[in-house]
Chains A and B, each alone.
Chain A
Amino acid sequence: MSSDAITIPALQIQEKPWVDLLHEWVTTVDHKRLGILYILYGLGFLVVGGVEALIIRIQLMHSHNDFVSPQVFNRMFTMHGTTMIFFMVMPVLFGFANYLVPLMIGARDMAFPRLNAFSFWLSAFGGLLLYFSFFGGSGLYGAGNAPDVGWWAYAPLGARAFSPGHSSDYWTLSLLVSGFGSIGTAINIIATVLCMRCPGMKLGRMPLQVWLYFVMGGMVLIAITPLSAAQIMLLIDRYLGGHFFDTQAGGSAVLWMHFFWIFGHPEVYVLVIPAFGFLSEIIPVFSRKPIFGYPVMVAATIAIGLVSTSVWAHHMFTVGMNSYANSFFAITTMAIGIPTGIKIFNWIGTMWGGRIQLKVPMLFCIGFLFQFLIAGLTGIIQAVVPVDWQLSLSYFVVAHFHYVIVGGILFATFGAFYYWYPKMTGRMLSERLGKWHFWLFLIGFHMTFDVMHVPGLLGMPRRIYTYEPGRGWDTLNLIVSIGALIQAIAVLIFVWNLISSYFAGAKAGNDPWDAWTLEWSTSSPPPPYNFATVPVVSSRRPLWDLKHPEDPDSQYE
């Protein structure tokens, strides 16, 4: 790659009236701006979903608490789950996908820029629709109410007999609408990866992040489709006299469970695979070594993608499937631990013999490794069906999947913020605030979610708004709630860091981390066209080749 391919003329910055700026952002089809919109949108919902979590935790601080009514509590856990999965983690990960994929493969934009904008605004509308239920849930006279059916809305709770009014319709429609947005984005990512790579960027030379987003795109297509189908069937049940899930008229509750989890479990991997991508970019750069076993990492990702479509019923070990079905879903669930384990070993292999720099992005990735290890092992424990008969639907499960989503995905995503924020804004995030954020969040996380396993072992079911004294759950729940408050403080520090560093952070320059992938070859923030001339690459680490002409990667691949 010649060096003049990556020099960029200085960006022209003009002062514009704010209305023009707003108009530009609303009508933009630029993948970077849409990426940032997605991320800001998700961050907004991180705060909203976090407040809901705090309300839940305050209510559960001690037995027989009456901070909120059971109705409000049930709405809070329904909205918390729905918000965090669909309107916080997914938008943030899609945002990074939008921002990074074209830059990493040397493209000027996504394959379908207008579809991209359409998808974002659909997803955004979905979130607003969900929250509009607070006002319109029972039809706009006085205050409405949010859905209270749980984020799985197990049939027949979603049927009209048990969910009168419109609150669960808002839930259904918001997931349907944002689901179409997700499908649009997934198609866009797949087309971009297949069609928009710069010269020399063979599939086998793509950064792992791009590979992982490619696999995620395929999984979104597989996972969201049955969810959308189920939501349409539910609407038919509710408004057109259908009986798919209407048990009062002979419908099947178990059918809904299958539909939901055939979406729900691949969805977990839709969320975690981009997080794997963050680690696969950040750990090599901060260990100063290439990723260990690149082809194996790609193969393991594809294996996870394939196997994850056949594990869904491990959410249903207690609903009375026969012993052969239970055994089948036990072995597929255990088997998915193998490629996941291989990934952890490869990250360790990457650090091994390296020169590890413990900057904030790397700290969050290391946090991920420890926590995802535990999350994976508690997952294996629950794949053992008879053990799951005890643990399923208890606080042990709640602790397990928060270990995956918070301890894994959210930690990796925080790492990604600290790593790519300089590229997006041209400013570094404060390392000092970042360390405060990391350590406080780590302490809060472990107080909350380590301890949360124990009430599950002591028989505490999930989704209860209160509990009896004398079960041995009081002290544990108090610790869990205090940990949640500490996490909230850490998130506030993070938000403050994002805001203050935008105005006063150190200038980042093009390549603050001495990294190797193409996004670091252009200016920070990149110009609308990304690259002045389209780059040409000859290895997986084009900037390594550029910085080490005497020892380029292209010699070894």
Chain B
Amino acid sequence: MLAWSYLLLAPPALAAPSQTNIFAPESTPAKSILNLTVFVLVITAIIFVVVFTLLVYSISKFHAKSADANREPAQVYGSTQIELAWTIIPVLIVVVLFLATARSIHAIQDAPEPPGALDVIAIGHQYWWEFRYPAFGIVTANELHIPVSDPSRPTPTFLQLLSADTDHSFWIPELAGKTDLVPNHPNRMWMDPHRTGIFLGQCAQYCGTQHAKMLLRVSVDSPQDFAAWVRSQQQPAVQDQSMMAGRQVFEHTACINCHTVSGTPANGRFGPDLTHLMSRTTLAAGAAENTPDSLRQWLQNPDVIKPGSLMPAMKLSDADLTAVVDYMETLR
């Protein structure tokens, strides 16, 4: 019962504290889902009030009184008219709900891709996200950048969803409903954020040990900021000669089997692309802030930050560790 008061009060009461609130949509799919949610909530709330009242009334009204303890009430076996009434009314409600549902499914799921749309390929990995922008030749991880979409001239983002291993699910509650990333089963979803800012979410489909720390950040940029971000991501990795020591350690240990730094021999694809690591605000799919200290800890013992992640502890000496961290810090 408490839940219902929550549900009914939810839009105003819950808008403030959370950044992952389905009642604070900022994009067309999430907004039309919210409209439908409110419609369904109103219908179910009416049903709830009617049946709840009937229940409370019948229990309080027909509660046994000691005065007539030994008298059996009139034995009534049923009534065809009443049965018909409480069959037909629910049938009508179901028809109405279904029509609204089918219409909304079609509008969101079968939306055609307009010419100005941005295509991004999102690949779920055990406990991190890979984002590829085929039009720009960019690869990045965990933090998706997309342009804001003006409702009068929409520039939505269409995601193609793939999985490299187990099932995952892409969910940014304020931008769109979730869609799963299933191996051998490419999916599609779209969103057209109406304001700039950072939007949060995380993997919603249990995918293994570190499902909990497979967090998502979407940065919705103004067209200028987005263009600038694309230009910077298109640059090859910074080649700082003073960091040759760290780079050599990086390239002579197993790091390069899994990670890419463009323009260098490192071209592994099992882990996140590190070409512009310092352009991201978090490490390990959002498990830690991207600071030199946490980067050092992550390289030294990943299990402290994210137990069960597939990043191995490389057992580097202190000097090598410092050199690699310094090198990583130059990958802007």
Interface residues of A (CB under 8 A from B): 69-71, 74, 148, 150, 154-157, 161-162, 247-248, 250-254, 287-290, 292-296, 318-320, 322-323, 326-327, 330-331, 334-335, 337-338, 341-342, 344-346, 348-349, 351-358, 366, 369-370, 373-374, 377-378, 380-381, 383-394, 399, 446, 449-451, 453-454, 457-468, 470-473, 548, 551, 553, 556
B209:A71 contact, CB within 8 angstroms: yes
Q: Are B211 and A457 in contact (CB under 8 A)?
A: no
Contact with A along B12-52 (1 / 0, CB 8 A): 00100111111100000110110011001100100110011
Interface centre among B98, B105, B171, B308 (most CB of A within 10 A): B105
Contact B22 A358 (CB under 8 A): no
Contacts of A162 in B (CB 8 A): 165-166, 208
How far in angstroms is the closest Cβ of chain B from A541?
A: 9
Are B98 and A287 closer than 8 Å at their CB atoms? no
Among candidates B47, B108, B180, B188, residue contacting A319 with C-beta atoms closer than 8 Å = B180
Residues of B within 8 A of A354 (CB): 62, 73
B135-143, B196-204, B229-237, B266-274: which one contacts chain A? Answer: B196-204
Contact indicator A446/B4 (Cβ below 8 Å): no
Residues of chain A lying within 8 A (CB to CB) of residue B186: 320
- Chain A residue numbers with a CB within 8 Å of B114 are none
Question: Most A CB atoms within 10 A — which of B63, B86, B87?
Answer: B86
Does B252 count as interface, using CB distance less than 8 angstroms?
no
**When the two chains form the complex, which single residue of A320, A322, A446, A470 contacts B180, counting CB atoms closer than 8 Å?**
A320
Contact stretch, chosen from B89-97, B150-158, B291-299: B89-97
A473 to B48, CA, bound (A): 27
Question: Residue-by-residue, is B97-141 near A (CB-CB < 8 Å gives 1, otherwise 0)?
Answer: 110111011101110000000000000000000000000000000
Q: Which residues of A contact B192 (CB under 8 A)?
A: none
Contact A458 B78 (CB under 8 A): no
**26 sampled A-B residue pairs with Cβ under 8 A:** A154-B205, A156-B167, A253-B167, A289-B75, A290-B76, A318-B179, A320-B182, A330-B101, A334-B94, A335-B94, A348-B58, A352-B62, A354-B62, A356-B59, A356-B62, A366-B55, A369-B55, A374-B48, A381-B37, A384-B97, A385-B105, A386-B32, A386-B36, A389-B108, A457-B14, A464-B202
Does chain A have a CB within 8 A of B319? no
| Contact indicator B36/A387 (Cβ below 8 Å) | yes
The dominant DSSP class at the B interface is: mixed
Q: Nearest-CB distance from A407 to chain B (Å)? A: 11
Which 4 A-B pairs have CB atoms at the shortest separation, nearest pair first? A389-B177, A459-B20, A472-B17, A464-B212
Q: Are B40 and A381 in contact (CB under 8 A)?
A: yes
Nearest chain B CB to A449's CB is how many angstroms away? 8
Given contacts A369-B55, A457-B10, contact A386 B76 (CB under 8 A): no
Contact of A294 among B21, B77, B105, B176 (CB under 8 A): B77
Bound Cα distance A470, B21 (Å) = 12
Q: List chain B residues, Cβ under 8 A from A386.
A: 29, 32-33, 36, 101, 104-105, 108, 177
In whole angstroms, what is the CA distance A330 to B72 when docked?
A: 45
CA distance A399 to B161 in the complex (A): 28
Assembly CA distance A334 to B98 (angstroms): 8
Beyond the given A338-B91, A389-B176, A471-B18, could you list 6 further A-B residue pairs with CB under 8 A, ordered by the A residue number?
A: A320-B185, A327-B105, A349-B82, A389-B108, A389-B178, A461-B169
